[in-house]
Structures are given as structure tokens and as C-alpha cells.
Amino acid sequence: MPAFIIQPFKDIIPMKKTFLFVALMVQCAITKAQHERNTVLLGNLATAGVSFVDAATPADAIPMALQDSLLRTPKWKLVFSDEFNDNTIDARKWNVENTSRKRTDIMLLADEQQVEEKEGNIFIYYRKLMTADTTYLAGRFNSKGKCAPTYGFIETRMHIVQPDGYQMAFWMMPEGNGMKVPEGVDGTANDGCEIDIVEGTRADAYSLGLHWDGYGKPAHKSNGALVKAPGIHNQEYHVYGFEWSPTFLKFYLDGRVVREMTDPKLIPHVAQFIYFSGSCFGENNWLDGDIRKNAFIQNGGVAKSYVDYIRIFEAVPEK
């Protein structure tokens, strides 16, 4: 049952009360009272009657993984969606990034020109800045401060570029504190983590997993894994899902579970926003290729990933 927040993280779940809150959630079924406490609030339009469900989303939409199991509980209610049919990026829902990142051997930029909504998709572009020898561009957009669920079912249908010094990622980050750990680390992902639902890293596979306790050594921890998916980049679209409850995390590819986590230390219990990002790499051992050796990009070509839709569902409370 996602709770979409606009308040600072510290005002939603004080850290000293977090574990008590989690314990109660684990022990209890979803009740009407719990559902009412988790009112859906999105962005600056947290006004009664304002819907953040795209009018183009089918009224009977449910997660792909549940289409063959309609009797499964809990039931799910659509609370947020974007079908990307408007040819204009919805600023109520998304932030398009203007950022720079310095890697060891390249500079990576993101700006509004690398993200475009058209033809029923939102596109992320990858290209070389032809006026600079080692500067590349890749689009990024996110829902920080606008849509940050706590629990729920998150699903997207998209095409991820075949990695060749670049990649596409669909992931989540903690609202409010990011991955900073100003009060120290606790050895768990309970207070928020990077959730990588899909990172397109290999020709016939992709990566998923968590990062928590910040990124600095020695505190940083992760549990990434490679999902075998032959021909994944040849088919135009695949559906990636993420089911998040107080007691488990499930990762889906085209409706089937490809990884499940049940260790209580791995379950985040804070609001996390949505991230779609392109990225480029030079010499690396992370993904296939080196952008500096990608002849298509070096000669002015533009590669692309694209997203057909994103939908977020909350659990319907038991009566």
C-alpha cells in the first residue's frame, strides 16, 4: 500500500519509531484504518479529487504478473500511471535532469534534449557531444518530490538499449535522505536503499539488486545479481515489475518472478521515488562495450531506450 509523500522524510517516519512501525506492519493484515493513514499525496497537487492516473490507462489495468491469477490476494488498485501519449512530459510527475558526472575517462551530461515524449513513449537518447572529445550525453528523469511510494506494485513496459558503452536503468531511491547516512549506518536497507529493478548491462542478461548503507567504504553493502535473458534487446518491449511489501521484495520479468528477497534486513520501509536513467561508460568491467570505441556514437549516431508506460498499484485493504 504505497504512501506518496511530499513532506520531508524525517516528518513521515521518525527514525526512533521506524522499527516499531515495521513490526506492527509485519504482524497485521492490511486494514481499512491502515489504508486511510496512508493517503495518496503527490507533488503540490495533493488536493482531493486530483488524479495522478493517466486517463489513457485502461480502467481494468492490473500488473502483468497477476493477469493469470485474479483470485490472488491482495487485490491491487491503480494509483499512479503515465502512458506517455501526450507528446509533452508531465511536470506534475517527472523531473528531467540537468546534471554532469565525471568518470575516470569521460564526462557524462544529462539535459532536456536527451528526454523526449512522442509516439506513445518517452525516449532516452545517448550521443556524443561532437565539440568535446570525451563528453557524452544520456537522458535521465525521476519522480523525486512528486511520486514516492512506500510498498506497492510498480510496473513498466520498456525497451532497453543493447549495452555498448551505454545502458538503461529503471530503479528507485529513498525520498528525502537519498543514500546519505548522516546518523551512521545500521547494517540494513530498512531506512532506504538503491533498488535496481533493471540495469541493462549485458547482451543477454541484465542486473538487479540493492545498495544500502551509503556508497562509501567500508559501510556500503550490495547484493546485485545477473538475470539471464537471452535476446532481451531484440524484442521491442519487455515488462519489468517490482512487488514491495513489508516482508518481501519480488522482481519480475514479463510476469514471472526472477528474484525474491525475504531477509528482513533487506526490506526498505521508507518512501522511494522512481528513476529512469541512461548512462555511458568508458573503460569498465560493469557492462558490455566502451563508449569511446562505439563507432556508431563516435560518428554522430544517436542510440535510444524508450518507455511505453509506468503504473503503480497499492494493495486494497481487507474488509
**pLDDT at site 67:** 80
pLDDT at 23: 33
Strands 115-118 and 121-128: antiparallel
- pLDDT value for 319: 66
The predicted model gives 254-271 an average pLDDT of 96
DSSP count for the chain of H helices, then E strands:
4, 19
The residues spanned by each domain of the chain are: 9-315
Fold of 9-315: Jelly Rolls (2.60.120)
Mean pLDDT, all residues of the chain: 85
Asked if 156 and 309 touch (Cβ cutoff 8 Å), the reply is yes
Work out the pLDDT band at 115, boundaries 50, 70, 90: very high
Average pLDDT over residues 87-102: 96
Question: Does the structure show a pLDDT above 80 at 72?
Answer: no
Taking residues 246-261, report their average pLDDT.
97
Predicted TM-score (pTM) of the model is: 0.85
Mean pLDDT calculated for residue range 271-285: 97
- Band of the pLDDT at 248, cuts 50, 70, 90? very high
**Who wins on pLDDT, 74 or 169?**
169
Mark out the alpha helices in 41-140 (DSSP H runs).
none
Task: Give the model's confidence band at 75: pLDDT under 50 very low, under 70 low, under 90 confident, else very high.
Answer: confident
DSSP 3: -
Q: Which of 49-53, 79-83, 253-257, 288-292 has the lowest mean pLDDT?
A: 49-53
Q: In this model, does residue 48 exceed pLDDT 60?
A: no
Cβ proximity of 261 and 87 under 8 Å: no
DSSP label at residue 17 = G
Residue range 273-293: average pLDDT?
97
Q: How confident is the model at residue 66 (pLDDT cuts 50, 70, 90)?
A: confident
- How far is residue 78's CA from residue 63's CA, in Å, rounded to a whole number? 9
Phi, psi angles (nearest 5°) of residue 29: -75, 165
Dump pLDDT digits (tens) for 197-244: 999 999 999 999 999 999 988 899 999 999 999 999 998 999 999 999
Residue 38 has pLDDT above 80, yes or no: no
